[in-house]
């Protein structure tokens, strides 16, 4: 509750100006919540102690030596009187309403243990990747934080950890979990350790998406050399893994398991060492360490030096002879010695608890042969030293449904772990498929087991904005290749089975050259082949593709079919009308305009008034008002109503009621009642 006291604890070591900035931001932006400020200084050698001595609204403890971050936090926690405890780094700047919203998330559920904000200076899910592009100074940063608060009001993510630069802990959680582990010294991994203990105690760690706090980062280690900082990080990582690897196994694995099973992690890679290095490092950084890494080289670069660089005997280097990703995965599968199989692309990464989470889930639920977790999708720009993530989002969380899996894949391959014996039943990867080989395999695996969803975010995969994927070398010359045709290629849905629109939209083709377009057209429309698929189904496929911004692929499919069957032009007009509904984007308008103009060229007599009226709408939306007016005028001229008005004038002048009624029926059958009235009036006129 907001009326309860919050203790804000700041541990300082040098950086007087940074400390002052942090304290002033707390004073300015924490007006809505009662709080006490506790500052523990770890023997700063600059002007920090003098500045702290001027504070009258804070409890200050000045230490004679640097006892480390964890020890300083514990010292402050022992002084704290609050119902909520906040550990706040001195190189942060808090923002308007920050504390009230953190408390609101903590109170939303009884099992929330710790809450942290989004920030520019952190990692994993708490990192707001857009932040640095949104402000150039702290005043603009405050404006950005307000926009984040408004946009994400009340939204939060569960996550395995909350970074220690700003973490709110409820008093009862602190009393249950205890103080921070001081063996981590000056810093690194003490926050990972504490969050792990919170989870073990049965609580959740939560990221408040409506709180943004600026974090400069690295100020506490400014006096250390890069080598000393790296060594400290490696030392503390070893302490963390030593503390949790075995203990985690004993507390979370089912009873009766004497030793942990081996996990075989298969990484198929092709000439991307700069990305591969990060992927392999993320596997070696796992809290679960009984694994082997099968590094299958599908490219031409020599990877032996990279493997030697890691110096880890669990990495085995294999070669697939540049025969494609499916073959590379099969090579890894044949060499795998583990009880469980997991996958990782060379441009993706695991979070530290990934393998542990999946192994534990499968051992505790032995009726399942395959489990999958939730993931983060990052959008990247390629760079010479790797890739830079520009923004990220939680990829859709999906509860398993076998029928829906037949229509669409919701599960990235790096999220999956399955038993090796499933491969013997379902078979290897289909090496004829250039795309979606993981979806094809997943569908076959699901025939032998249900899929267990573990709703925890444990990995991150990437979509590249300025490069093509390693699996898409021929997209330019075969632009339909992404539209998979797995059902037909795998011979699981022959033509006689009449595949659904969803089947075909999800489909991708391994056909090459000129055959590719023909196969795709047959799949979607059936207009040029033996499959009598209705045009309505094709229209549905086109709409789905339109929603995926793949309009250039639709155009070739539809227009090729309509040239063969002009009667389909009416459906193309319906497609254009669909694009113009509600608030179409500019690409929607251009696509609709192209569809309408093509329809006129193929079948100019059909619904010509409707087409010109829709064209008028397109030109209006594109700002071409004169052309829009001309189209509108012509639409009125050629429409049934326009024809009626012209005939009506003739009838009034010539008294040709019967002729007019006949013309009305021929022009617009739905106006037959009007025609009957006109005939009746005509007869009355003649009799008079």
Give the pair of three-digit tokens for residue 91: 């190189």
pLDDT of residue 416: 96
How do the domains of the chain map onto residue ranges? 6-215, 247-491, 501-640, 643-687
Q: Beta partners for 459?
A: 350, 375
91 closest CA partner among 189, 168, 164: 164
Q: How far is residue 537's CA from residue 523's CA, in Å, rounded to a whole number?
A: 11
pLDDT of residue 500: 37
* 469: confidence class by pLDDT, cuts 50, 70, 90: very low
Residue 246 has a CB neighbour count (10 Å cut-off) of: 12
Q: Report the percent of the chain where pLDDT is more than 70.
A: 64
* 370: confidence class by pLDDT, cuts 50, 70, 90: very high
* 272: confidence class by pLDDT, cuts 50, 70, 90: confident
Alpha helices in 427-493 (DSSP H): 437-445, 486-489
pLDDT of residue 447: 82
Pseudo-torsion of CA 220, 222, 224, 229, nearest 10°?
70
CA distances for 475 relative to 58, 345, 433, 467, 518, angstroms: 63, 20, 14, 12, 16
Whether pLDDT at 506 is above 80: no
Q: Does domain 247-491 have CATH number 3.90.550.10?
A: yes
Encode pLDDT of 472-496 as tens digits: 333 322 333 333 333 333 333 333 3
Encode pLDDT of 226-264 as tens digits: 556 666 776 777 677 667 654 443 334 444 443 578 999
Location of structure tokens 């999906």: 398
Question: Model's pTM, two decimal places?
Answer: 0.45
501-640 has the same fold as 247-491: no
Asked if residue 82 lies in contact with residue 5, where contact means CB atoms within 8 angstroms, the answer is yes
Ranges 171-185, 288-302, 558-572: which has the least confidence: 558-572
Q: How far is residue 334's CA from residue 515's CA, in Å, rounded to a whole number?
A: 33
Location of structure tokens 């106006």: 671
Asked if residue 177 lies in contact with residue 130, where contact means CB atoms within 8 angstroms, the answer is no
Task: Give the distance from CA 378 to its chain's centroid.
Answer: 6
Q: How far is residue 344's CA from residue 321's CA, in Å, rounded to a whole number?
A: 19
Residues 170-198: what's their mean pLDDT?
A: 89
pLDDT of residue 158: 81
Residues 337-351: what's their mean pLDDT?
A: 92
Class of domain 501-640: mainly alpha
Q: What mean pLDDT is reported for the chain?
A: 75
pLDDT of residue 120: 84
- SS3 letters across 387-452: EEEEEEEECCCCCCCHHHHHHCCCCCHHHEEEECHHHHHHCCCCCCCCCCHHHHHHHHHCCCCCEE
Element (H, E) at 12: strand 6-12
Q: Which fold has domain 6-215?
A: Spore Coat Polysaccharide Biosynthesis Protein SpsA; Chain A (3.90.550)
pLDDT of residue 670: 44
Ranges 272-286, 312-326, 645-659: which has the least confidence: 645-659
543 closest CA partner among 529, 553, 528, 532: 553
* 323: confidence class by pLDDT, cuts 50, 70, 90: confident
* 507: confidence class by pLDDT, cuts 50, 70, 90: very low
Task: Give the distance from CA 234 to its chain's centroid.
Answer: 31
Encode pLDDT of 578-598 as tens digits: 778 777 888 788 878 887 887
**Sequence-ordered list of residues with C-beta below 8 angstroms from that of 532, at least 6 positions apart, any chain:** 526
Tell the burial category of 83 from Cβ atoms under 10 Å away from its Cβ (0-12, 13-18, 19+).
middle
Higher pLDDT, 187 or 654: 187
Report helix, strand or coil for 451: strand
306 closest CA partner among 283, 281, 277: 277
Give the pair of three-digit tokens for residue 625: 């008002």
pLDDT of residue 268: 93
């Amino acid at each position: 509750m907001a009326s309860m006291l919050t203790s804000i604890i700041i541990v300082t070591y040098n950086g007087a100006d940074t400390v002052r900035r942090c304290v002033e931001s707390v004073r300015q932006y924490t007006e809505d919540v009662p709080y006490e400020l506790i500052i523990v200084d770890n023997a700063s050698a600059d002007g920090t102690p003098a500045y702290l001595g001027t504070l009258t609204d804070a409890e200050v403890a000045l230490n004679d030596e640097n006892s480390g971050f964890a020890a300083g936090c514990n010292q402050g926690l022992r002084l704290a009187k609050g119902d909520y405890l906040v550990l706040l780094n001195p190189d942060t700047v808090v923002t308007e309403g920050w504390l009230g919203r953190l408390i609101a998330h903590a109170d939303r559920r009884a099992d929330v243990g710790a809450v942290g904000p989004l920030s520019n200076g952190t990692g994993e899910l708490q990192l707001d990747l857009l932040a640095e592009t949104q402000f150039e100074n702290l005043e603009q940063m405050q404006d950005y934080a307000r926009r984040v608060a408004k946009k994400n009001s009340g939204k939060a993510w569960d996550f395995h950890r909350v970074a220690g630069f700003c973490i709110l802990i409820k008093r009862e959680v602190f009393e249950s979990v205890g103080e921070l582990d001081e063996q981590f010294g000056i810093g690194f991994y003490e926050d990972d350790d504490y969050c792990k203990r919170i989870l073990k105690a049965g609580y959740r760690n939560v990221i408040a998406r409506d709180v943004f706090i600026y974090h400069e980062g690295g100020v506490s280690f400014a006096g250390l050399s890069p080598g000393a900082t790296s060594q400290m990080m490696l030392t503390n990582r070893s302490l963390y893994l030593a503390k949790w690897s075995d203990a985690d196994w004993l507390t979370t694995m089912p009873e009766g398991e004497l030793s942990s099973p081996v996990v075989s992690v298969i990484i198929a890679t092709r000439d991307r060492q700069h990305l591969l290095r990060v992927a392999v490092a993320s596997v070696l950084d796992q809290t679960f360490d009984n694994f082997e890494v099968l590094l299958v080289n599908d490219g031409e670069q020599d990877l032996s030096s990279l493997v030697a660089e890691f110096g880890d005997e669990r990495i085995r280097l294999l070669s697939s002879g540049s025969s494609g990703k499916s073959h590379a995965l099969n090579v890894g599968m044949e060499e795998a010695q583990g009880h469980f199989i997991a996958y990782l692309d060379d441009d993706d990464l695991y979070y530290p608890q990934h393998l542990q989470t999946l192994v534990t889930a499968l051992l505790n639920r032995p009726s399942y042969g395959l489990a999958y977790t939730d993931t983060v999708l990052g959008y990247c720009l390629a760079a010479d030293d790797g890739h830079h993530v520009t923004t990220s989002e939680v990829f859709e969380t999906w509860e398993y449904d076998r029928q829906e899996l037949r229509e669409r894949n919701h599960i990235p391959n790096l999220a999956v772990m399955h038993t090796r014996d499933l491969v013997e039943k379902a078979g290897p990867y289909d090496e004829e498929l250039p795309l979606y080989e993981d979806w094809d395999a997943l569908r076959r695996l699901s025939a032998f087991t249900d899929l267990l969803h573990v709703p925890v975010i444990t990995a991150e995969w990437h979509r590249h904005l300025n490069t093509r994927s390693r699996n898409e070398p021929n997209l330019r010359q075969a632009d339909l290749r992404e539209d998979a045709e797995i059902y037909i290629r795998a011979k699981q849905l022959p033509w006689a089975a009449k595949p659904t629109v969803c089947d075909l939209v999800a489909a991708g083709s391994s056909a090459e050259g000129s055959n590719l377009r023909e196969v795709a057209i047959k799949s979607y429309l059936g207009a040029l082949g033996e499959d009598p698929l209705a045009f309505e189904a094709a229209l549905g496929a086109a709409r789905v593709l339109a929603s995926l911004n793949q309009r250039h692929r639709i155009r070739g499919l539809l227009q090729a079919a309509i040239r063969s069957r002009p009667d389909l032009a009416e459906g193309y007009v319906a497609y254009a009308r669909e694009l113009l509904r509600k608030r179409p984007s500019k690409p929607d308008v251009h696509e609709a305009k192209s569809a309408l103009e093509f329809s006129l060229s193929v079948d100019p007599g059909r619904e010509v008034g409707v087409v010109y009226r829709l064209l008028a709408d397109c030109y209006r939306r594109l700002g071409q008002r004169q052309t829009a007016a001309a189209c509108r005028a012509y639409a009125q001229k050629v429409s049934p109503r326009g024809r009626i008005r012209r005939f009506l004038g003739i009838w009034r002048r010539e008294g040709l009621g019967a002729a007019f009624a006949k013309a009305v029926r021929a022009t617009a059958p739905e106006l037959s009642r009007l025609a009957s009235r006109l005939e009746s009036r005509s007869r009355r006129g003649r009799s008079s």
